[in-house]
Amino acid sequence: MRKFLLGLCAAVAVPCAFAQFGNFGDIPVEITADGNTRFDQGVAIAEDNVQIHYGDYSIFCDYAEYNPETRDVLLSGNIRFYTPNQLLTAQRALFNLETKQMRALEVSGSEFPMYFRAFNFRAMSQREFRITDGSATTHDSSKPDFHVRPRHMRFYPDDRVVITGSTVYVGQTPIFWFPYLFANLDNTGFQFLPGYDSRWGAYLLFGYSFPVVSGVDATVRFEERTEFGPSVGIDLEMAYGPDNRNYGKFSADYVFENTDVTSVEAPGEPPETKTTNRYRVSFQQRLFLTDDIYGTADINVLSDVDFLEDFYPAQYAINPQPDNVLSLTKWDEVYTLNLIGRWQVNDFQDVTERKPEFVFDFKQQPLFGLPIQYDGETGVASLERSFSNDPALGQQNFQDYGATRLDSFHQISLPTSAFNWLNITPRAGFRGTWYSASGTFIQPAGGTPVFDPVSGQLVPFQGSATSENPPNLPSTNLQQNGAVFRPVANYGITASTKISRAFEQVQSRWLGLDGLRHVLEPFVNYSGVYNMGPGPDEIYQFDRIVPSTQLLPLDFPQFTAIDSIDSWNIVRIGLNQRLQTRRDDDTMNWLSFNSFMDANIDNPYSSAGVSNLFNNLQFNPVPWSSLAVASQIPVMEEGFTEVNTTLSFMPTRDTRFAIGHRYIDGNDFFSDDSQLNFYAFWRINENWSVSLYEQYEFNSQVMQYQRYFINRDLTSWVASIGAEVRDNEGGDQQFGVMFMMTLKDAPQVTLPLAFSQGTSQQPAGAVE
């Protein structure tokens, strides 16, 4: 074994032109070989079992030549090239240690999720390489089930791949030829979705993706639905800047609706929109102007209230009323500045407009080096509540209202410890809010429900025809008043402690227990607010209380319903419990059980003396089983019951079950409901599996949703065929069939066939 070090040769070299690789002379090039090693005219030559190490790069081959002047390494014979991210093999290559450029012949390697071979390989940089006369597949086998033979292929690691002149082979049989293909981590580049749905009718959705410029990808869409007519659309996705932290997305759709839409009505919903030439324009943006200043945009223009529900039901289920807001944020470790603008772009939506709003948020910090903590928030806003006034939604000419609001909140707190086990934090604060205008809605006769556009629900109102309305819900009668100022004082104290005890003798492999530690954390939080000015019934409601099954925050600034603030005295008590065990050299929560409730000494938002008792349980005894229960039950006669349960277990490697139940009863704002969800998966053998999902509503005794799949393992792919049925309870019955091809090594890549518009193009649970 002969060994020589070329560090001295590298030390006299010119510094590296690329700063990310450091000074070239600081990193020695080490070459070892079993055979002859020599210098020939300034070039280092090594033969037989050659090893070259340079930083994070290691090269093994039969023969190598290194030129310290140009940084070029000529390699030959059984080359194995290890980079920080991948392994390449080749027979002949030329590599530059400084620029990382490479040219090679007879190369094979991988770039997740793809394996490739190429006669000619060229790396332009660490972020781009090209191959010609090669093949690519995701099947890790010497005889892959399928592969693609491109004329040219360009890889951009962790980003995208561009293929020209490619032929798709199954085995050795060519089945399709593509002149041009583009794909990234989230997009196959080509979509062809034919099918039938009872709501859309027969449909054909075609999409094609391609890069526009570096960092900008586009998808054009041409679609036909027999029940709606043809449509066109375009999507742009942008990622740019350092670490691609700037992001943007633009979508536009236009539907040439040329037929009457079949009326589809769910319980309580208005009839479907009867309109033609429908459209959507959507734009989302996050742009960093500096490291600590960034802007965001969320703009959504819709032709009608039913557009998303008709054409994008998955988006509609998550966000049925998309926002229109612009913001500019200055972030600092001590404070945050926000400038916000919000408008009623779609006149069928109820919106609180901010034209604009400026907020200065000072984060909790020690005050002048003292143990006292200070936090505060000050904002000024021009606000207007704009109603849609759509009779179909139950609204009757509600009058828009607006005001300029100046709000300033300041609070101090003193975290202390007593007896070395009790944590106590008293706090006190002051808030002053000025409105340039005010007003009171007068509600109809007692007991008549009124409509709240925010919740979309009819809410009860008790009072006479001339009664004031404490929540100030909108009605057809608005009494306008002048400017008002509302001073508010808040005060409170939080006390908590932690008690724990270990039980090392508790051992159970079946229950996943390796010792047990019980942790108890009782807490008490008293919150008091004294409103020294007008109540919510005299103040325009912009940031307001909305119906919810959960308790409101007690502390400021977490309580964000500024315009609904009124005097209160509330005590929240609770107990957090955790049973912990050891697993995989770590501590995990085997079981957690948290309980809390409010004692309402004076609560303007509830007439009950005490709130419901809330209990949240998480049980994860073993990796193949888990249970979660979130419940609240009434302590006194007033109150309602809500229990949400989820159980998942996998008794064998071939079977999995999941059961969920949602129950609510006796709530004034939400309908009684008892809904059961059931999911099951069974792998019959190595090739076949089946799955099902069902959703049953007990009150109406209706099977709301059903989905069934048969899956066939095709080694590299999984083919799934199934059907779904949706009952809209009083509306129509929706049904469809689905066919899906999913790539096992990259589930985000699907064969462009899917026979369903239901909730997504890749139904959950289709493949396990």
Q: Which residues of 246-284 are buried (b: 16+ CB within 10 A; e: fewer)?
A: bbbebbbbbbebeeebeebeeeebeebbeeeebebebbe
Residue 278 lies in a domain: yes
Q: DSSP code of 244?
A: G
Beta-bridge partner residues of 491: 428, 528
Residue 461 lies in a domain: no
Residue range of the domain that includes 67: 1-100
Q: Which of 297, 322, 347 is the last residue of a domain?
A: 322
Look at phi and psi of residue 476 and say left if phi exceeds 0, alpha if psi is from -120 to 50, else beta.
alpha
Taking 70 as the threshold, does the pLDDT of residue 546 lie above it? Answer: yes
Q: Are residues 93 and 213 in the same domain?
A: no
- Judging by beta carbons within 10 Å of its beta carbon (0-12, 13-18, 19+), is residue 646 exposed, middle or buried? middle
pLDDT band, very low/low/confident/very high, at 5 (cuts 50, 70, 90):
very low
Q: Are residues 73 and 198 in the same domain?
A: no
Overall pTM > 0.85: no
Q: Which of 322, 348, 366 is the last residue of a domain?
A: 322
Residue 517 lies in a domain: no
Residue 345 lies in a domain: no
What pLDDT is stored for residue 730 in this prediction?
A: 57
Per-residue pLDDT reduced to its tens digit, 668-723: 888 889 999 999 999 999 889 999 999 999 988 889 889 999 988 877 677 888 88
Q: Which of 39, 67, 100 is the last residue of a domain?
A: 100
Per-residue pLDDT reduced to its tens digit, 722-765: 888 888 765 567 787 777 666 665 544 444 333 344 333 333 33
Q: Are residues 195 and 306 in the same domain?
A: yes
Q: Are residues 306 and 201 in the same domain?
A: yes
Report how far residue 50's alpha carbon sits from residue 54's, in angstroms, rounded to the nearest whole number: 13
Q: Are residues 196 and 318 in the same domain?
A: yes
pLDDT band, very low/low/confident/very high, at 114 (cuts 50, 70, 90):
confident
pLDDT band, very low/low/confident/very high, at 602 (cuts 50, 70, 90):
very high
Q: Which helix (H) or strand (E) holds 262?
A: none
Give the mean model confidence (pLDDT) for residues 385-398: 67
Residue 528 lies in a domain: no
Q: Are residues 193 and 93 in the same domain?
A: no
Decide which of 731 and 74 is more confident: 74
- CATH for 40: 2.60.450
Give the total number of structural domains in the chain: 2
Instruction: List phi, psi (to 5°) of 408.
Output: -140, 125
Residue 66 lies in a domain: yes
Residues 434, 439, 444, 450, CA torsion sign: negative
Q: Which residues of 362-376 are buried (b: 16+ CB within 10 A; e: fewer)?
A: beeeeeeeeeebbbb
Residue 420 lies in a domain: no
Q: Are residues 198 and 95 in the same domain?
A: no
Decide which of 71 and 566 is more confident: 566
Peptide bond into 356 cis (omega under 30): yes
| Residue 374 CA, distance from chain mean position | 33
pLDDT band, very low/low/confident/very high, at 123 (cuts 50, 70, 90):
confident
Q: DSSP code of 549?
A: S
What pLDDT is stored for residue 146 in this prediction?
A: 76
Report how far residue 265's alpha carbon sits from residue 765's, in angstroms, rounded to the nearest whole number: 28
Residue 292 lies in a domain: yes
